[in-house]
Amino acid sequence: MNLPRMQLTAGEHTLLVYVARSAEERAVGLQHRRELPAHEGMLFICDRREVLSFWMKDTPLPLSIAFLHEDGTVLKIADLEPHDLEGESSEHPVRFVLEVNQGWFQERELGPGARFDGPVFLARREQELSPQRG
pTM comes to 0.88
pLDDT digits (tens, 9 = 90+) for 12-59: 999 999 999 998 888 888 888 889 999 999 999 999 999 999 999 899
Measure Cα distances from 94 to 70, 73, 76, 77 in Å. Answer: 7, 11, 11, 13
For residues 108-129, give the mean pLDDT: 82
Instruction: Report DSSP letters for 106-124, one per residue.
Output: HHTT--TT-B-B-HHHHHH
Number of Cβ within 10 Å of residue 21's Cβ equals: 15
Q: Where are the domains of the chain?
A: 5-129
Cα separation, 128 vs 35, in Å, equals 37
The top-level CATH class assigned to 5-129 is mainly beta
> Three-class SS of residue 27?
helix
pLDDT digits (tens, 9 = 90+) for 92-108: 999 999 999 999 999 99
